[in-house]
Structure 1
Amino acid sequence: MRLSRPTVRSRLVAKLTVLACVASGAAATAAVTAAPASAACTDIDVVVARGTGEPGTLGWIVGDPVYAALKNKIAFKSFMGYPVNYPADLSIGSASKGNTDLVNHIKSQAASCPNQKFVLVGYSQGANVVDNSIGVSSDGALVGGPITATIPASAEPRVAAVLLFGNPIRAIGRKVTGAYAGRTLDTCATGDPICGNGIDITAHLSYGNDAAQAAAFAAGKL
């Protein structure tokens, strides 16, 4: 019997959740101080939406290594890291809850810290969260959802870079367009079934290898 595409994707998501937890145990991590919503001002706020079931302060597979790479690349700036507060699970509305929290955090920080710039990082379901927040709907994508809020136009110029990994909207033919397109690095590994048409689920767990490249891209925008 040939499985339908939705059935295949459902099984991929379930497998991804398990593999993410297993892979994280062996992942190299760096010390990250997670900032509360009302944190003191820094030069750069790295706002990270982790992937489905991904542990770690900002996410062991992507968030933590990308944060460490950014601090290493831009040593003369002060940083804070904010882990988007959302379930990051397979429940209905998970990505939309992350969308709301991310936008609320940007609004709060933008009002409190007029000189602060933002780097948005999203991995897997977290990429859906970031997509929604910059006005690109993830509804209909794997572990996606409708837009609940978008970053205000007044704060948009302060988003220096958007770093996306394993972005599920790519699998349904969408991409980041508009004001954020030139500031976005949207990485999809060869063989990744979540953002492309591949069959190698381990490719979806490989994005820590792209941390230095992502940091270099963001540094060029800051």
Structure 2
Amino acid sequence: MRFPPSLTSRRFAALAATACVVSGAGVAVTAAPASAAQCSDVNVVSARGTGEPGTLGWIVGDPVYSALRSEIRNRTFSAYSVDYPADLSTGSASKGNTDLVDHVKSQAASCPNQKFILVGYSQGANVVDNSIGISSDGAAVGGPITATIPASIEPRVAAVLVFGNPIRAIGRSITGTYQSRTLDVCADGDPVCGAGFDILAHLSYGDDADEAADFAAGKV
């Protein structure tokens, strides 16, 4: 079942507000400076969801990063929180798109052997979608592509992990170059990536952290 854009936006706004209440609105999110290269084996680049607190994202980014470090013990890790509003303002996802690509390009130049794992939750999945060339324009809190990861760096993106991806609700998915490296999780009943009405389903993706780490372990 499809909903008119105005209804989709209202549902998303209500869900985002609920997420803030559940996870604790007002917690500061800090992004590492893009110029501060740390040449680990793997750089985890995480785009948090709308209003989501936590260093990389309390619901998804933080638990996934922890699971990755536990699962993949023969690699060193560093992390970057995409610097963008992550709110309901026009252009929020596109700003994240630009920052993610700028960061990956800077890291790739400074650390020629470093690989990347891209993580996106909810609006953050829109950010990741755009950055790998799949437009989120028209999706809830989506936007047009502003930049894409260069073809020369693309082979170094080991895995793409997205959760509650809004483009799924408008019939899109991650296809093409990155498809085989992508884990795209949509919980049953999630109103953001599907046609459900269960707000709590959209807040449940921390439960999928171990599955995501297992998937990425086979790609790094």
Aligned equivalents of 1:72, 1:24: Cα separation in 2: 24
- For residue 29 of structure 1, what is the aligned residue in structure 2? none
Give the whole-Å Cα distance in 2 for the aligned partners of 1:51 and 1:100. Answer: 16
Matched, 1:188 2:194: no
2:147 to 130, 141, 149: 149
Q: Is the contact made by 2:37 and 2:110 (CA closer than 8 Å) also made in structure 1?
A: no
SS at match of 2:207: helix
SS in 2 for 1:118: strand
Verify the 8 A CA contact 2:88 2:141 in the aligned structure 1: yes
Q: Deviations over 1:181-211 (max 9, x none)?
A: 0000000000001000111111000000000
1:213 counterpart residue number: 211
- Give me the whole-angstrom Cα distance separating, in 2, the residues matched to 1:34 and 1:8: 32
Is the 8 Å Cα contact of residues 12 and 201 (structure 1) preserved in structure 2? no
Match of 2:63 in 1: 65
Partner amino acid for 2:100?
A: L
* SS of residue in 1 equivalent to 2:80: strand
* C-alpha distance in 1 between matches for 2:5 and 2:173: 21
User: Is the contact made by 2:93 and 2:142 (CA closer than 8 Å) also made in structure 1?
Assistant: yes
- The count of residues paired between Structure 1 and Structure 2 equals 214
Determine if contact 1:34/1:81 at 8 Å carries over to the other structure.
no
Q: Distance in 2 between matches of 1:115 and 1:34?
A: 23
Shift of 1:21: 1.7
CA distance in 1: counterparts of 2:129 and 2:71, whole angstroms: 25
1:45, 1:79 within 8 Å by CA — same for their partners in 2? Answer: yes
1:164 corresponds to which residue? 162
Counterpart of 2:33?
Answer: 36
Question: Aligned-pair distance for 1:76?
Answer: 2.2
- Structure 2 residue 135 is the aligned partner of structure 1 residue 137: yes
2:120, 2:126 within 8 Å by CA — same for their partners in 1? yes
Q: Deviations over 1:10-39 (max 9, x none)?
A: 2222222222122224xxxxxxx9643122
Q: Structure 2 stretches of 5 or more lacking a match?
A: 25-29
CA offsets per residue over residues 137-171 of structure 1, 9 Å max, x none? 00000100000000000100000000000000000
Q: Which residue of 2 aligns with 1:22?
A: 21
TM-score between both structures, scaled by the size of structure 2: 0.93
Structure 1, unmatched stretches of 5+, are 26-32
Q: Which of 115, 118, 130 lines up with 1:117 in the alignment?
A: 115
Could you tell me how far apart the structure 2 residues matched to 1:135 and 1:11 are?
Answer: 27
In structure 2, the CA distance between the partners of 1:34 and 1:145, relative to structure 1 (3 Å rule), is closer
Amino acid at match of 1:17: A
Distance in 2 between residues matched to 1:43 and 1:5, nearest whole Å: 45
Q: What code does the residue aligned with 1:20 have?
A: A
Give the superposed CA RMSD. Answer: 1.7
Q: Is the 8 A contact 2:125 2:163 kept in 1?
A: yes
**Contact 1:20-1:53 within 8 A present in 2 as well:** yes
Give 1:77 deviation, angstroms. Answer: 1.3
SS state at 1:19 partner: helix
Secondary structure (helix, strand or coil) at the match of 1:145 reads coil
